[in-house]
């Protein structure tokens, strides 16, 4: 067929990023393009590398918590929690029940905030500006709650080893409840504006498809894995904290608008997950027990030398795991983070092959990477 004939033209080497509006930070993609089609994309990382893991090996367990804030700066609470869980596992600390509930509430709120930003920027990548700002307005409210709870808006350092920093006061609970009541309707609105938008569907459905096998082989986790149709959620399948006492559903990509595992699915799983988060927080608020919010933690937290743990936590971007080796004293011997965003970047070379530039941007946006976590 004539249409299959190959036309010769030179390929343009073009550097997309680090300073590019749609590479979500400082990702650099070396694109080899032929007209509108990307023939090859090669990610260049490390623009935000801060040796976080090495720093962790020189600080006490408690001192490292604020560094985790800077890794995934969009879901700092979850990042704190992951670190604290690893440390607690390593040192066999007991956490009071109230502390666990507060952690769950706050981290699920942060999951909403993180997903909102992912949706907003995904919309922005496809050219829709308004959903971005509408999502940001809701995110602002969450940040206000966080500010009231812990005093910071971006890097919280709120979830501490042994519990949380401050108690959740009745007025905070009130704020969260107020937010959740209006949030569901706002989310419906956002959903109407973007999810069913024909242009948006055509831009994201069937774009950047990752099958279930591929997703598993690449080590995908979290939303990106579930969007490919793999029913796996740590909160349910390997429950930690007080998740067993909370009822929720695991949302999966069903390929409603196209194929299972396309960008639209990844987008839509995030939307559904936010509804689930609302349910979970409401349950947790109802069940919130009285008591201490933080356990007894010795000033000099020590872990036996050579003891190692690998603790994984379901974060907005996937499974964030910390691998810790105790150093005998109050400093860990080895710190290693498994960053889900880094894993999400792995299929880039395979995925961004023979693809429109516009599709590349959309697919990259749907993977929802945070460069702070990738580079660490």
Partner 1 sequence: MIEEAVRFVINIPFGFFGSEAPEWLVFVHCSLIYGGVFMMAFISVLAFGSVWAERKISAWMQARLGPMEVGKYQGCLQTIADALKLLLKEDILPAAADKPLFTIAPILVFAGSLMSYVAIPFGPNLKVADLDIGVFYILGTSAVVVVGIIIAGWSSYSKWSIYGGMRAAAQYVSYEIPTALHLLPVIIMAGSLNLIEIADEQQFFIGPVDCSFLTWNLWPWINPFATVSFIMYYIASLAETNRTPFDLAESESELVAGSHTEYSGIRWSFFFLAEYADMFVVSALGTILYLGGWHGLPIPVIGPYLAPFFFLFKVLFLMFIAIWLRWTLPRLRVDQLTYLCWKVLLPFGMVTVTGTALWQLYFYKTPVGVILGTVIAIGTIWAMIKIYRSESIPEKGKPMARRDQVAATPS
Partner 2 sequence: MFDFIFFVFSFVCIGSALFVAFTPNVVHAALGLASTFATLAGFYVLLGADFLAITQIAIYVGGILVLMLFGIMYTHTIARVSGEQVMMQVGPALLVVILTLFTLVATILSTAWPVKEVAPPAPTADRIGVLLMTDYLLPFEVAAILLLVALVGAVVIAQTPVRKSIEESVD
Partner 3 sequence: MYENYAHVLIFALVAVGVVVAPLILFALIRPVRPDAEKLSAYECGERVVGTPWIQFNIRYYLVCLVFLVFEVEILLLFPWALVYGAFIGGPEQVEALAQGAANTSEASGGMAFVAMFIFMVILAVGLAYDWGKGYLEWETEITTSPEIEEKEVA
Residues that bind partner 3 (CB under 8 A): 1-20, 23, 28, 30, 34-37, 354-356
Q: The dihedral of CA 295, 296, 298, 302: what is its sign?
A: negative
Q: Which stretch binds partner 2 (CB under 8 A): 3-11, 22-30, 335-343, 358-366?
A: 3-11
191 touches partner 1 (CB under 8 A) = no
Contact 326, 347 (CB under 8 A): no
8 touches partner 2 (CB under 8 A) = yes
Q: Which stretch binds partner 2 (CB under 8 A): 6-14, 18-26, 303-311, 346-354?
A: 6-14
- Rounded to an integer, what is the distance from CA 237 to the centroid of its chain? 18
Q: Which does 1 bind (CB under 5 to 8 A by kind): partner 3, partner 2, partner 1, none?
A: partner 3
137 touches partner 1 (CB under 8 A) = yes
Q: Which does 28 bind (CB under 5 to 8 A by kind): partner 1, partner 2, partner 3, none?
A: partner 3
Q: Name the residue with tokens 């699920």.
A: 108
Q: Which does 206 bind (CB under 5 to 8 A by kind): partner 1, partner 3, partner 2, none?
A: partner 1
Nearest distance in Å: CB 61, partner 1: 40
299 touches partner 2 (CB under 8 A) = no
Q: Which stretch binds partner 1 (CB under 8 A): 17-25, 99-107, 301-309, 314-322?
A: 17-25
Binding mask 150-189 for partner 1 (x = CB under 8 A): ----------------------------------------
Nearest distance in Å: CB 376, partner 3: 21
Spatial neighbors of 76 by CB under 8 A, at least 6 apart, are 68, 69, 110, 154, 155, 156, 157
Give the Cα separation of 281 and 264 in Å (integer).
26
Give the Cα separation of 311 and 374 in Å (integer).
18
Q: Which stretch binds partner 1 (CB under 8 A): 63-71, 81-89, 256-264, 310-318?
A: 256-264
# residues near partner 1 by CB under 8 A = 50
Alpha helices by DSSP H, listed for 37-129, are: 52-56, 65-71, 76-91, 97-125
Contact 37, 354 (CB under 8 A): yes
Nearest distance in Å: CB 14, partner 2: 16
# residues near partner 2 by CB under 8 A = 7
- Residues 10-69 within binding reach of partner 2 (CB under 8 A): 10
Contact 86, 332 (CB under 8 A): no
Q: Quickly list DSSP for 246-302.
A: S---------SSSSTTSHHHHHHHHHHHHHHHHHHHHHHHHH---S-SB----SS--
Q: Which does 258 bind (CB under 5 to 8 A by kind): partner 2, partner 1, partner 3, none?
A: partner 1
What three-state secondary structure class fits 332? coil
Nearest distance in Å: CB 33, partner 2: 15
126 touches partner 1 (CB under 8 A) = yes
Residue 216: phi and psi, rounded to 5, are -70, -40
9 touches partner 2 (CB under 8 A) = yes
Chain length of the chain: 376
Q: Which stretch binds partner 1 (CB under 8 A): 79-87, 107-115, 241-249, 357-365?
A: 357-365
Nearest distance in Å: CB 16, partner 2: 21
Q: The dihedral of CA 260, 266, 267, 269: what is its sign?
A: positive
Q: Name the residue with tokens 């869980």.
A: 85
Contact 156, 146 (CB under 8 A): yes
Give the Cα separation of 87 and 307 in Å (integer).
11
Binding residues vs partner 2 (CB under 8 A): 2, 5-10
Binding residues vs partner 1 (CB under 8 A): 12, 14, 20-22, 36, 123-130, 133-134, 137, 193-194, 197-203, 205-211, 214, 255, 257-259, 261-262, 347, 349-351, 353, 356-359, 361
């Amino acid at each position: 067929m004539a249409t299959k004939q190959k036309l010769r033209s030179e390929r343009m080497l073009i550097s997309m990023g680090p300073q590019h509006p749609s590479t979500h930070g400082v990702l650099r993609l070396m694109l080899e393009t032929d007209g509108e089609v990307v023939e090859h994309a090669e990610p260049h990382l490390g623009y935000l590398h801060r040796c976080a893991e090495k720093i962790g090996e020189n600080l006490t367990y408690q001192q490292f918590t604020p560094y985790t804030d800077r890794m995934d700066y969009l879901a700092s609470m979850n990042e704190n929690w992951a670190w604290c869980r690893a440390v607690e596992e390593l040192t066999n600390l007991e956490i009071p029940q109230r502390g666990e509930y507060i952690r769950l509430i706050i981290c699920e709120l942060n999951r909403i905030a993180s997903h909102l930003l992912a949706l907003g920027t995904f919309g922005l990548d496809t050219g829709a500006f308004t959903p971005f700002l509408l999502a940001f307005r809701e995110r602002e409210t969450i940040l206000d709650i966080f500010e009231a709870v812990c005093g910071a808006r971006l890097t919280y350092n709120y979830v501490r080893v042994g519990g949380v920093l401050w108690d959740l006061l009745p007025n905070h609970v009130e704020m969260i409840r107020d937010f959740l009541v209006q949030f569901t309707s706002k989310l419906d609105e956002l959903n109407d504006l973007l999810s069913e938008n024909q242009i948006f569907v055509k831009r994201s459905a069937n774009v950047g498809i990752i099958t279930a096998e591929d997703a598993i082989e690449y080590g995908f986790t979290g939303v990106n894995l579930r969007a490919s149709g793999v029913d796996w959620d740590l909160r349910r399948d390997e429950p930690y904290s007080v998740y067993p006492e909370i009822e929720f559903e695991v949302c999966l990509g069903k390929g409603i608008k196209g194929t299972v595992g396309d960008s639209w699915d990844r987008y839509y799983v995030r939307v559904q997950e936010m509804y689930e988060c609302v349910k979970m927080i409401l349950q947790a608020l109802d069940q919130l027990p009285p008591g201490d919010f933080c356990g007894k933690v010795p000033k000099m937290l020590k872990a036996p030398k050579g003891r190692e743990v690998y603790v994984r936590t379901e974060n907005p971007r996937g499974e964030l795991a910390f691998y810790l080796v105790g150093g005998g004293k109050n400093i860990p011997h080895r710190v290693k983070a498994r960053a889900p965003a880094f894993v999400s970047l792995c299929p880039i070379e395979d995925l961004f092959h023979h693809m429109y530039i516009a599709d590349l941007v959309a697919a990259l946006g749907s993977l929802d990477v945070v460069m702070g976590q990738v580079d660490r």
